[in-house]
Amino acid sequence: MRKPCQIIPFLLFLCLLLPAAGMALPASDVRLDTDACTRISTGPGPHSLLPLPGSERLLISSHDRRAFAKPGALLEYDVRRSLLRTLPRRGEPQDLVLRPHHMDVSTQDGEKRLYVINHDEDSPNSDRHSILVYRIEPDQLVFRKRLADKLLSSPNHLSVAPDGDIYVSNDRRDGKSVMELVMRRKHANLVHYREGKGWQVVVDGLSFPNGVKAEDERVFAVMTFGNALLSWPRYEDGRLGPRQSVVTLPALDGLNPGPDPNTWLTVSHGPLLDFLRHKRSSDHRSPATVFLVNVDTKSFTPFFADDGRRISAMSNAVLLGQALYIGQSFDAFILRCPLKTRQAER
């Protein structure tokens, strides 16, 4: 008999062969050619992948989370020419040590800006974090400012709304507390920032919120311990209304647009013990599944799955050009899986 911790990944892979009752296949004809997936070497821990709008450039945050004190880098991958480079950064404060986590991009006042969660201490268990804002230029990043506040207690993901407001998921209320994670206490939150107004908590009592996306009229976030994709209506002052559950899936991580309107791609981890073992050593596999979620029908279907042989500890998945790119938390590569259509399969 399978142990409980083995059941979840078994069911997820079974879903790839036979969609379960209640699931809806995506309206799009987009499929993956999973036999043609290839690795692209990067720096360690390419956790956040961010397509740069209007280009064929993929921005990548790289930080060795197995050696947390070390500085990281911001990379750019040109998908058309298959070229990877470290982005030069100019104008940073002398005391800044870059340990990037999640990123977002937005155009404000005619300027394309990159927003990066940065861990300002050399330990993953701290309460000193900031958001770094850069101006994106063709060949470099130019530092603009650093946003810091006590409400950035343990930032995991961020999203910039169309009007420039920033929403951040804190996976813990107390970034120094390991027990808050071990006990899975519902103390975490979402915080909101508006220029000239500062920071405020807009949702409290969450269980390890992770990926977050802010639209004009609503905000989405996935829960790693809460096992759900949630949404909230967004008010003019940036506050959020009553929460709604979109779908329930285990151990969610990351949230990115899918191939069709109102669809999202999110990673669902297998046993989190495998994730922790993989953090200690690449020899341990950490399986996960990328799900495609339709928020209108509140349905989901597997889009990509791996038992850890091709890629472990997936962090997020993004569509760019004719491929799906998958990031991860520790090892030094991302995975590229080309797209195909049903017509091409015939």
Beta bridge partners of 288: 269, 306
- CB of 76 within 8 A of CB of 87? yes
- Check residue 200 and give its pLDDT: 98
Written as tens digits, the pLDDT of the chain (346 aa) is 434 444 344 334 334 333 333 333 344 578 899 999 999 999 999 999 999 998 999 999 999 999 999 999 999 999 999 999 999 999 999 999 999 999 999 998 899 999 999 999 999 999 999 999 999 999 999 999 999 999 999 999 999 999 999 999 999 999 999 999 989 999 999 999 999 999 999 999 999 999 999 999 999 999 999 999 999 999 999 999 999 999 999 999 999 999 999 999 999 999 999 999 999 999 999 999 999 999 999 999 999 999 999 999 999 999 999 999 999 999 999 999 999 865 444 4
- Check residue 30 and give its pLDDT: 81
- Check residue 341 and give its pLDDT: 64
- Check residue 4 and give its pLDDT: 40
The single-letter code of the amino acid at 42 is: T
- In the sheet that 83-86 helps form, which strands lie side by side, from edge to edge? 46-51, 57-62, 73-78, 83-86
End-to-end CA distance of the chain: 40
- The whole-angstrom separation of Cα 220 and Cα 159 is 10
Tokens of 138: 């063709």
- pTM here? 0.90
The structural domain count of the chain equals 1
DSSP letter at 35 equals: G
- Domain containing residue 25: CATH number: 2.120.10.30
Kindly state the helix (H) or strand (E) to which residue 272 belongs, with its residue range. helix 272-280
| H helix intervals, 164-244 | 179-182
Structural domain boundaries enclosing 230 = 4-345
- Check residue 28 and give its pLDDT: 58
Farthest-apart Cα atoms in the chain, separation: 60
Neighbours of 127 (CB within 10 A): 17
Beta bridge partners of 305: 289
- Check residue 27 and give its pLDDT: 45
- The whole-angstrom separation of Cα 8 and Cα 250 is 8
- Check residue 340 and give its pLDDT: 87
Neighbours of 36 (CB within 10 A): 12
* Residue reference for tokens 């507390």: 177
Sign of CA dihedral 58, 64, 69, 70: negative
Phi first, then psi: give them for residue 211, nearest 5 degrees: -60, 140
